[in-house]
Chains A and B, each alone.
Chain A
Amino acid sequence: MNKNNFLALLSGLLFGLGLILSGMANPAKVLGFLDLAGAWDPSLALVMGGAIAVGTVVFAIAGKRDLSLLGLTIHFPTARHIDKRLVLGSLAFGIGWGLAGVCPGPALVLLGTGSVKGLVFVFAMLVGMGIFEYLEIRRLRHNK
């Protein structure tokens, strides 16, 4: 494994540890945060707060650079448009998130715990992503 990939692995590892420590990897806790009308657990607002506090500094610096410390191109998102795809896609994601309390990062951590339910979720998620690619190919072909 080269240095670039080793550092990407370390980053993923740290991300996973952060998800476990924060409680994000526990679907029951995520649902407790999303349940405003029940006994509300505000913890996950602090996860977002902690991550964004660090992230704001990070991206302010990264946004001024063209190359990473390893000399790789910095892929900064350039999309700014707000359209139906963005909102409807995010709403669909939110419904799925609310049904089980699992989003993509924690789903992969659940895989690592050996959870069968985690495996079921990740499989369905990959199928969902495959359906998206299929619909995209059809749309692009149709538009030609």
Chain B
Amino acid sequence: MLIDWNNFTPWASLAGGALLGIAAAMLMFFNGRIAGISGIVGGLVKPRLHDVSWRIAFITGLIIAPLLWQIFSALPPILINTSNTLLVVSGLLVGIGTRFGAGCTSGHGVCGISRLSLRSLIATLSFMFAGFVTVYIVRHVLVA
């Protein structure tokens, strides 16, 4: 296996990960909610009474994060090389898949595994496996 040492950012990634954990702690200890982004967004697609405002508030926080960041420092590189057509296919799969699977990287991958949930572990292994295979096919089978 070839490691990409040039792009490896162990400390920033570890610290960023810890921030995700602290943010999840806040939402749990204050609002009593799991920080699962697909679930939070999905709950707005089919809204229920008295269950809307905290979702909008949390999502607003996510969206303004890069704006706040830019007040203090330049954003780190953010590169999307995927075509718009493929982004639509990808977005559709992410939308349908996370709702059927009842969670994404945050809800299952971070919160679920932290709760020692076997269900979330199986979900996480499933989407990681599919992610690895998809990138392998796109980058090493189709292109080659």
Is B31 a contact of A70 with CB atoms below 8 Å? Answer: yes
Q: What size tier do the contact residues of chain B reach? A: 35 or more
Is B61 a contact of A38 with CB atoms below 8 Å? Answer: no
Query: In the complex, A99→B141 CA distance in Å?
Result: 14
Asked, given contacts A22-B20, A24-B16, A125-B94, whether A81 binds B30 with beta carbons under 8 Å apart, the answer is no
User: 1/0 contact trace for A12-34 toward B, CB 8 Å?
Assistant: 11111111111111111101101
Whole-angstrom distance between the Cβ of A56 and the nearest chain B Cβ: 5
Query: In the complex, A62→B68 CA distance in Å?
Result: 29
Is A11 a contact of B34 with CB atoms below 8 Å? Answer: no
Of the residues B27, B82, B87, B134, contact of A11 by C-beta under 8 Å: B27
Query: In the complex, A39→B4 CA distance in Å?
Result: 5
Interface majority SS (helix, strand, loop, mixed), chain B? helix
Query: In the complex, A22→B12 CA distance in Å?
Result: 5
Is B80 a contact of A100 with CB atoms below 8 Å? Answer: yes
Query: In the complex, A77→B39 CA distance in Å?
Result: 11
Asked, given contacts A18-B19, A87-B122, A91-B97, whether A47 binds B14 with beta carbons under 8 Å apart, the answer is yes
Q: What is the chain A residue whose CB lies nearest that of B135?
A: A34
Query: For B139, what are the chain A residues with a Cβ–Cβ distance below 8 Å?
Result: 35, 37-38
Is A90 a contact of B130 with CB atoms below 8 Å? Answer: yes
Is A23 a contact of B16 with CB atoms below 8 Å? Answer: yes
Query: In the complex, A54→B23 CA distance in Å?
Result: 10
Is A102 a contact of B132 with CB atoms below 8 Å? Answer: no
A1, A72, A99, A128: residue with the most chain B Cβ atoms closer than 10 Å: A128
Query: For B31, what are the chain A residues with a Cβ–Cβ distance below 8 Å?
Result: 4, 7-8, 11, 68, 70, 72
Query: For A100, what are the chain B residues with a Cβ–Cβ distance below 8 Å?
Result: 80, 82, 86-87, 90-91
Interface check A140, CB cutoff 8 A: no
A-B contact pairs, 15 of them (CB 8 A): A8-B58, A14-B61, A15-B24, A25-B78, A26-B76, A28-B78, A28-B80, A34-B134, A51-B17, A59-B28, A93-B98, A94-B131, A98-B135, A124-B91, A128-B96
List residues of A whose CB falls within 8 A of some B CB. Answer: 1, 4-29, 31-32, 34-44, 46-56, 58-59, 62-63, 67-70, 72-77, 79-82, 85-105, 107-113, 115, 117-118, 120-133
